């Protein structure tokens, strides 16, 4: 991959990951609006907006982030396991994507269906209340994990987990190291 191609890939990666993080932060803050919900239409519209952000913006942004990260790992020197900070980002990313795909996404769709069916009474439905709380906590946790991933991307701790051949065979002076 040429330097120019890597820069273009990085542009897409940074924009997509920023959008993903922004969506998660909005989803963590959005429940504040629901505190003053006074009608069934407001309950439905809140859930409709939440669902739209999750399904139409967050999911595509996360897919682009994962895809561009995969390209970086496959086609550049960064690899998958050469650096601890990349391993951290992959673990966090896969955890969030798997939890979102198999648990949180379907739950958000269920919340919208409950709100559509029950309107204002949804606010008294134990399943709705519990799912909404789980969604809020998950968004806060996901936002925190993604913020740490951004910080890790900038500071790049845990560099070079696998020492180069030169470092394995010598101490930098040409003298072989004794294990």
Name the percent of the chain lying above pLDDT 70: 89
Give the angle subtended at the CA of 65 by the CAs of 64 and 71, to the nearest 5°. Answer: 85
Of 158, 157, 175, nearest in space to 166 by CA? 175
- Residue 109: name the closest of 34, 58, 54 by CA: 54
In contact, 145 and 89? CB cutoff 8 Å = no
The confidence score (pLDDT) of residue 163 equals 62
Predicted confidence (pLDDT) per residue in 61-115, tens digit: 999 999 999 999 999 988 888 899 999 999 999 999 999 999 999 999 999 999 9
- Quick one: pLDDT band at residue 33, thresholds 50, 70, 90? confident
This prediction has a pTM of 0.86
| Nearest partner of 82 among 163, 144, 15, 156, judged by Cα | 163
Q: What is the CA radius of gyration of the chain?
A: 22
């Amino acid at each position: 991959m040429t330097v120019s191609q890597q820069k273009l890939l990085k542009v897409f990666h940074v924009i997509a990951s920023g959008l993903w993080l922004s969506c998660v932060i909005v989803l963590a803050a959005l429940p504040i609006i629901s505190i003053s919900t006074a009608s069934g239409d407001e309950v439905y519209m809140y859930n409709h907006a939440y669902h739209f952000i999750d399904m139409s913006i967050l999911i595509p942004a996360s897919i682009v982030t994962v895809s561009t990260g995969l390209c970086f790992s496959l086609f550049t020197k960064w690899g998958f396991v050469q650096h601890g900070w990349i391993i951290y980002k992959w673990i966090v990313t896969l955890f969030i994507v798997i939890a979102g795909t198999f648990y949180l996404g379907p739950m958000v769709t269920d919340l919208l269906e409950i709100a559509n069916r029950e309107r204002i009474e949804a606010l008294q439905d134990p399943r709705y209340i519990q799912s909404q709380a789980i969604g809020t906590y998950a968004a806060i946790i996901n936002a925190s994990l993604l913020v740490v991933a951004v910080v890790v991307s900038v500071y790049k701790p845990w560099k070079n987990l696998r020492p180069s051949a030169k470092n394995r065979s010598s101490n930098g002076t040409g003298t072989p190291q004794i294990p």
